[in-house]
Amino acid sequence: MPQPSWKVNEIFYSIQGEGKHTGMPAVFVRLAGCSMNCPFCDTQYAAREGKETDSAHLLQTLAQWPAKTVIITGGEPAEQDLTGLIAVLKKAGYAVHLETNGSIDTDVSRADFVCVSPKKYVSPEMLKKADVIKIVVGQNTDLDDLQKYYAYENTHTQIYLQPESNKQENIDLCVKLLKNHPSARLSLQTHKLANIR
């Protein structure tokens, strides 16, 4: 019987550079493919490039590092068999974090942490499943549009505002917004500030 496989862009060991778990060592599994094509995307290469990787090779690769947390990112992970990937990782004893744009409503019930970063379209059902809703904020962001995401904030789901490209003007805008909505949080891309992958 063939092993399940996924189109993987890259696998690497680093620290989480943004959001709630900033500074945490983890292995990143970047899946290939994304149909959004956002102009500010900093991983556009992942939308096109990837290699078919079966579960045995994936687990063998992960085993070379001591971290027991895997962050599934992309591209857009939910464009592949995300449920099967989470199941494989959980069976192998990994904590699984997911970063998704939330455009595809998928079963993430076995994931330990789900970050939804809305782009052109987001499924309301995925917003309900999110532990964190991370909103990229730039000079072209429709600030009135942010209000709809605040409606999903509760004891389970936290809002993070992330300045596009760490630009100072976007940081200043996020700080202004946060002062008006103090239950939300700031997410800088600290891995870029520290010049690490």
Catalytic center residues: 28, 34, 38, 41-43, 99, 191
> How far apart (Å, rounded) are the C-alpha atoms in residues 181 and 159?
10
**Which tokens hold the place of 160?**
């993070």
Query: What b/e readout covers 41-62, taking b as 16+ CB neighbours within 10 angstroms?
Result: beeeebbeebeebebeebeebb
At a CB cut-off of 8 Å and minimum separation 6, what does 113 contact?
20, 21, 95, 96, 97, 98, 131, 132
Cis amide bond preceding 19, omega within 30: no
Amino acid symbol at 148: K
Half-sphere CA count of 35, side-chain side, radius 13 A: 8
| CB 4 within 8 Å of CB 45 | no
3-state secondary structure of 113: strand
